[in-house]
Amino acid sequence: MFTTKFWKATAERAVKSAAQGLLLYWGADVVFNAWQADWAAAGGIASGAAVLSVLTSLVSAKVSGEGDSPSLVSVEQ
């Protein structure tokens, strides 16, 4: 859990989750207008999704017992 490999994978997952949160939030609008967007709400949703992703990665590493992976599923190489 304290390796560069773990934190790179965790950061990638957090960025993906933040992007998915934004797409979910903005995807409901047919037309997106950047000038009228509620940026505070969008930032809150993206940040919340990223934090939840990091927390999930930390718990997954503990549960799986694989400190180098933020996943519950072990990947054999």
Phi and psi at 19, nearest 5°, equal -65, -40
Q: Which of 54, 63, 44 is nearest to 7 (CA)?
A: 54
Residue 15 lies in a domain: yes
Give the tens place of pLDDT for each residue, 26-68: 886 667 788 888 999 999 999 999 999 999 999 998 888 887 8
- The residue segments making up the domain with residue 56 are 4-25+36-61
Output the average pLDDT for the chain: 88
Residue 45 lies in a domain: yes
Residue 55 lies in a domain: yes
Residue 74 lies in a domain: no
Residue 11 lies in a domain: yes
pLDDT reported for residue 1: 76
Q: What's the one-letter identity of residue 65?
A: G
Q: How many structural domains are present in the chain?
A: 1
Using H for helix, E for strand and C for coil, what is the string for 3-33?
CHHHHHHHHHHHHHHHHHHHHHHHHCCCCCC
pLDDT reported for residue 37: 87
Residue 51 φ/ψ region, left for φ over 0, alpha for ψ in the -120 to 50 degree band, beta for the rest: alpha
